[in-house]
Amino acid sequence: MPPSPTTVLIVGAGPTGLTLAIDLARRAVDVTIIDKAPQFPRSSRAKGPNPRSLEVLEDLGVVDEVLAAGAAPPPMRKYRGGVAIADATPFADARPTPDAPYDRGRMIAQWRLEEVLRDRLATYGVHVGLGRELVGLAQDRTTVTATLADGGEIPARYAVGCDGGHSAVRKLLGVPFEGKTDETQMMVCGDVEVTGPDRGLWHQWFDEDGAVMLCPIPGTRSGWWFQAGPETDASGAPVPPSLESFQRLFAKHAGLPGGLLSEATLLSTYRVNERLAERYRVGRVFLAGDAAHVHSIAGGLGMNTGIQDAYNLGWKLARVAAGRADAALLDTYEEERLPVAADVLDLSAERLRATLEAIKEPGGGLDTAIVPRTDGLGDGYRWSSLARGGATSRLRAGDRAPDAPCRDLATGAPRRLFETFAGPHFTLLGFGTGTAAALREASAAHEGDLLAYGVDAGGPHGLADDGGHARSAYGVGPGEDLLVLIRPDNHVGLIVPAADTRAVGEYLRAAA
């Protein structure tokens, strides 16, 4: 008897796949997630979520665990000739603001982040299927059938490839992965055990013919991220990474005994790859994360772009699968996320060029890769067909929806806007007393699909903007009555005057 189809099959159980699985599972979507690895990895790889990804993780209910398990980025100490010559603290002046609660990313080993995400997924009764390698993919009008290396099959209504830069899903779909690999920009990487260096610093040794960088891995006593330019042999060819080569590189560039490095794992050679999938959707199959785009490591944008891909796709797949939206909604995933990935690709490439120039001079270092745009908070979808209605002095439809501290009128307790957004629903904010009727009408007409909150709109149910932070963040002037519809992925879908009571229903029927 053939297996019963799952609603969504996710191939790849890294941060992108796990984020998508959680988002679907909390919406009561039947999801299956598989990975070809025989066991969960214990490598650190990506250094952690940026501020926008932390907002996503808050909505998924795991940000407290991530913050507890991780650490703030440490100051960067830069050396020349083995001598410390400069310190840089890129986030020294950063502070949380009412509209953006996370002022910097969080450093956390990727294996630990994945562990947190798997634990959250397990609360929905979903577990990763390990050792299940995809080798075939077929689809018709209603079903995708995945064939595994062991001969088994998994039928699904939809499938998503979150299986990395060498994605089997992308290759089986025949989607071109256009771009370049720069063989001249090469780096060896690994997780190493080191004794001696101060774990309160990110050490960066640069000289005329190479570099070594050590960053402490949070949650470990002596674990570090190790990065260096590759060692070469007499012919100029790169030497494969090993503990011994790492020790030689460390001794050469840091001027410290190589024996301080006692262990090395996740030995890899990194080449700068800049590639973008030509399409994000082929029928019932989608691509997300590194399967759809790979970038230079400058700015730490790869994993974060994947997490945000998943956050965009999850609510759309769930609504279509539940019959609440037309299948055309799924086309907006590529429409919105492919341009973002192209922009991130350009940004990371530009930051890499700037960093390589900076480290040629004394005092230059990896802090050059960090600019305001790498926080992810400015990414939005103003061009999208889902961005409707007008604008305010601060926002346009398609933008990220800001946070703000308010007061719950029913309880008198503090309540942030992000707390009202949290969960699998649309949120309607009504600024001003003139929105009360529209809020009541929308709430009654779309019960279970939308939560409506008046902001200084009167009545016992709603929010008081005592500090004026909500009106400021949303660009709503004194005495102005305005409706703002927030999508389930916390982007602004619609901005209309309070008198336009039909706009919300039309948006939900047509766009969702």
The confidence band for 500, taking pLDDT boundaries of 50, 70 and 90, is confident
* Mean model confidence pLDDT for the chain: 93
The confidence band for 461, taking pLDDT boundaries of 50, 70 and 90, is confident
Find how far residue 273's CA is from the centre of its chain: 19
**Calculated CA dihedral for residues 197, 198, 200, 205, nearest 10 degrees:** -50
Phi and psi at residue 223, to the nearest 5°:
-90, 140
Dist CA 84 CA 78 (whole Å): 6
Between CA 197 and CA 209, with CA 203 as vertex, the angle to 5 degrees is 115
Spatial CB neighbours of 494, under 8 Å, sequence gap ≥ 6: 388, 389, 397, 483, 484, 485, 503, 504, 507
The domains of the chain are located at 6-71+104-179+273-375, 182-272, 388-511
Angle between helices 436-445 and 503-511 (to 10 degrees): 30
Q: Which residues pair with 111 in a beta bridge?
A: none
Mean pLDDT over 132-149 rounds to 97
Top CATH class of 388-511 equals alpha beta
Helix (H) / strand (E) containing 293: strand 293-294
Contact 405, 101 (CB under 8 A): no
Q: What is the pLDDT of residue 45?
A: 76
Phi and psi at residue 322, to the nearest 5°:
-85, 0
Find how far residue 491's CA is from the centre of its chain: 15
Given a cut of 70, whether residue 133 has pLDDT beyond it is yes
Given a cut of 70, whether residue 303 has pLDDT beyond it is yes
Q: In the chain, what percentage of residues exceed pLDDT 70?
A: 98
Dist CA 268 CA 215 (whole Å): 17
For 21-55, how does the pLDDT look when each residue is reduced to its tens digit (9 = 90+)?
Answer: 999 999 999 999 999 999 998 877 778 999 999 99
Dist CA 453 CA 269 (whole Å): 52
Q: What is the pLDDT of residue 140?
A: 96
CATH 3.50.50.60 fits 6-71+104-179+273-375, yes or no: yes
Right CATH for 182-272 from 3.40.309.10, 1.10.357.10, 1.20.1250.20, 3.30.70.2450? 3.30.70.2450
DSSP string, 457-480: --SSSSEE-TTSHHHHHHTPPTT-
Spatial CB neighbours of 29, under 8 Å, sequence gap ≥ 6: 7, 8, 317, 318, 321, 322
Ranking 83-92, 146-155, 213-222, 266-275 by mean pLDDT, the lowest is 266-275
The residue among 245, 250, 244, 242 whose CA lies nearest residue 267 is: 242
State the pTM of this model.
Answer: 0.95
Environment class of residue 360 by beta-carbon count within 10 Å: exposed (0-12), middle (13-18) or buried (19+)?
A: exposed
Q: Could you tell me the two tokens for 176?
A: 């071109």
Contact 274, 180 (CB under 8 A): yes
